[in-house]
């Protein structure tokens, strides 16, 4: 066919993993993946709906792309993923807003992309946003077109059934379903043979993974799966994301402690430090429950790095509840955090049940206080690493200096140090000599 596809991905790691599935489907049909937008015959934007800001970025990008149609007659522009699922009608009928989209495909429709493309090329509006009860793409080998050959993602499950009040994911990605563990182990073995040095197991709620054999009735949970993956090659670093606090078991922590190649780092979203806010968010744990899990991590995995997600200004949040978030941050001492203002999402429980009543100025001020607090915590965390020696997996050259390389330590912190002929994929023992709040220097 000699046609080229350009993939642009927004949002979470799961979306980047999904784009690799899309690349596999399309290359099987004869397309080449290009990094040059001007060469593309097909442009796919794989999108995120977690916040309004994320959707606005995509809509603005779609407007920017329209000028390419004049240069490449027959260009097809498609929207994939969560935003496609949520805004299907608006996307296909948005020409009056400067948005012309030829095809729309939800997260469970990627096998149908070739037929949708045929429909779009014939002038039809092509759409498939049906959610599946069993699609996991387990039999599709991802094309890691944007990877550096060092780190890779493996999606081990899809969907979510937690129905947190603020979140659209259960509506855009459907019910939880877990992949056959043998397909996960097989994909990991391929990565090992190809020379990858690190793999991250992905799921919307990765530690609720559960696979039941239809033949034997055997049930495999996430702890056992993680141990099996880690046992394949002790030189392969293993990470996972994202964990829900209610499902973080002692069994999983002991599994991490038993396998040195499972990185001593956990991303454990808390969202708020207030039990009352957590209840309104439908998070299914209290402040005390969360701190209990932190205590278990500290006991079973001493020195484990901790990161989190935080939302400022959720419905009804009082000043005292906001201060509880700041105090929890102080109590835990997070190494890193993703921090956001609350953004109401249509169709969610919060949109139906609560009023988005925290003024925008208050949200902004509270978010600033959260960011400032985390800056303090991150700097203190990094300062504790100064003088230590860390094993760093080299990822590539530093963006700020041609004479330095960068990589990540086991705790997932970025380390920058002088290049002495290192290559991506090398493990290097690095003495930490300085830091900022974001980066270690060695």
What pLDDT, on a 0 to 100 scale, did the predictor assign at position 273? 98
What pLDDT, on a 0 to 100 scale, did the predictor assign at position 217? 82
Q: Both tokens of residue 239?
A: 């990470």
159 alpha carbon, distance to own chain's centre: 13
Distance CA 256, CA 264 (A): 7
> Largest Cα–Cα distance in the chain?
64
What pLDDT, on a 0 to 100 scale, did the predictor assign at position 94? 75
Please, what is the average pLDDT of the chain? 95
Instruction: Report whether pLDDT(280) > 60.
Output: yes
What pLDDT, on a 0 to 100 scale, did the predictor assign at position 95? 74
Q: Both tokens of residue 333?
A: 């001492």
Q: How big, in percent rounded to 5, are the helix, strand and coil portions of the chain?
A: 40, 25, 40
Q: Both tokens of residue 74?
A: 């027959």
- Strand residue runs (E) in 92-184: 103-105, 126-128, 151-155, 157-158, 177-178
What pLDDT, on a 0 to 100 scale, did the predictor assign at position 99? 87
3-state class (DSSP) for residue 414: strand
What pLDDT, on a 0 to 100 scale, did the predictor assign at position 43? 97
Number of residues written out for the chain: 442
Q: Which 8-state DSSP code applies to residue 96?
A: G
What pLDDT, on a 0 to 100 scale, did the predictor assign at position 146? 66
Instruction: Report whether pLDDT(433) > 80.
Output: yes
Q: pLDDT tens-digit profile of 51-110?
A: 888 999 999 999 999 999 988 889 999 999 999 988 888 888 877 778 889 999 999 999
Q: Identify which has the larger pLDDT, 376 or 146.
A: 376
Q: Give me the residues paired with residue 394 across strands.
A: 407
Beta-carbon neighbour count of residue 200 at 10 Å?
18
DSSP character string of 9-40? E-SSHHHHHHHHHHHHHHHHTTEEE-S-GGG-
For the CA atoms of 138, 141, 147, 151, what is the dihedral angle to 10 degrees? 50
3-state class (DSSP) for residue 290: helix
Instruction: Report whether pLDDT(147) > 60.
Output: no
Beta-carbon neighbour count of residue 337 at 10 Å?
23
Instruction: Report whether pLDDT(241) > 70.
Output: yes
pLDDT band at 6 (very low <50, low <70, confident <90, very high): very high
**8, burial (CB in 10 Å: exposed 0-12, middle 13-18, buried 19+):** middle
Q: pLDDT tens-digit profile of 97-140?
A: 788 899 999 999 999 999 999 999 998 889 999 999 999 999 99
Q: In what order do the strands lie in the sheet with 198-202?
A: 151-155, 198-202, 237-241
Residues 6+ apart with CB under 8 A from 118: none
DSSP character string of 195-207? T--EEEEE-TTGG
Instruction: Report whether pLDDT(297) > 70.
Output: yes
pLDDT band at 214 (very low <50, low <70, confident <90, very high): confident
Distance CA 103, CA 91 (A): 9
Instruction: Report whether pLDDT(320) > 70.
Output: yes
> What would the mean pLDDT of 272-292 be, rounded to a whole number?
98
Instruction: Report whether pLDDT(145) > 90.
Output: no
Omega before 377 cis (within 30°)? no
Distance CA 202, CA 219 (A): 19
> What would the mean pLDDT of 47-54 be, rounded to a whole number?
90
Q: Flag the least confident range among 95-104, 360-369, 401-410.
A: 95-104
Residues 6+ apart with CB under 8 A from 101: 62, 77, 78, 79, 91, 92, 94
What pLDDT, on a 0 to 100 scale, did the predictor assign at position 87? 86
What pLDDT, on a 0 to 100 scale, did the predictor assign at position 216? 82
Share of the chain above pLDDT 90, in %: 89
pLDDT band at 355 (very low <50, low <70, confident <90, very high): very high
What pLDDT, on a 0 to 100 scale, did the predictor assign at position 1? 57
DSSP character string of 209-252? -EEE-TTT--EEEHHHHHHHHHHT-TTSEEEEE---GGG--HHH
């Amino acid at each position: 066919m000699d046609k080229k596809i350009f993939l642009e991905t927004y949002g979470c790691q799961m979306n980047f993993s999904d784009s690799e599935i899309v690349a596999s489907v399309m290359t099987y049909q004869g397309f080449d993946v290009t990094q040059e937008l001007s060469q593309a015959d097909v442009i796919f934007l794989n999108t995120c709906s977690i916040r309004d800001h994320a959707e606005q970025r995509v809509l603005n990008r779609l407007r920017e792309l329209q000028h390419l149609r004049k240069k490449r007659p027959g260009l097809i522009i498609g929207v994939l993923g969560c935003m496609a699922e949520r805004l299907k009608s608006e996307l296909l009928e948005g020409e009056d807003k400067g948005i012309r989209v030829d095809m729309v495909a939800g997260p469970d429709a990627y096998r149908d992309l070739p037929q949708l493309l045929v429909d779009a090329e014939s002038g039809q509006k092509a759409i498939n946003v049906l959610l599946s009860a069993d699609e996991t793409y387990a039999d599709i080998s991802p094309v890691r077109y944007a990877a550096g050959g060092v780190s890779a993602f493996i999606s081990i499950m899809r969907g979510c059934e937690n129905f947190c009040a603020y979140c659209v994911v259960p509506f855009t990605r459907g019910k939880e379903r877990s992949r056959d563990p043998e397909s996960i182990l097989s994909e990991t073995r391929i990565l090992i043979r190809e020379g990858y040095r690190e793999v991250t197991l992905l799921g919307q709620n990765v530690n609720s993974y559960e696979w039941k054999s239809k033949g034997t009735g055997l049930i495999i949970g996430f702890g056992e799966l993680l141990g099996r993956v880690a046992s394949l090659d002790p030189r392969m670093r293993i990470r996972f994301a994202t964990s829900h606090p209610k499902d973080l078991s002692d069994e999983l922590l002991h599994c991490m402690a038993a396998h040195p190649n499972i990185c001593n780092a956990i991303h454990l979203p808390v969202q708020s430090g207030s039990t009352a806010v957590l209840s309104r968010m439908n998070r299914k744990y209290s402040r005390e429950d969360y701190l209990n899990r932190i205590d278990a991590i500290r006991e079973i995995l001493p020195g484990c790095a901790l990161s989190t997600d935080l939302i400022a200004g959720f419905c009804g949040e009082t000043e005292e509840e906001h201060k509880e978030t700041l105090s929890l941050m102080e109590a835990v001492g997070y190494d890193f955090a993703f921090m956001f203002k609350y953004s109401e999402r249509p169709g969610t429980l919060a949109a139906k049940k609560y009023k988005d009543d925290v003024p925008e100025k208050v949200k902004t001020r509270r978010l600033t206080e959260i960011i400032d607090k985390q800056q303090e915590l991150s700097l203190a965390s990094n300062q504790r690493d100064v003088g230590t020696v860390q094993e760093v997996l080299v990822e590539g050259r530093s963006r700020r200096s041609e004479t330095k390389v960068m990589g990540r330590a086991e705790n997932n912190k970025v380390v920058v140090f002088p290049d002495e002929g290192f290559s991506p994929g090398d493990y290097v023992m690095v003495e930490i000599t300085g830091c900022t709040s974001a980066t270690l220097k060695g």
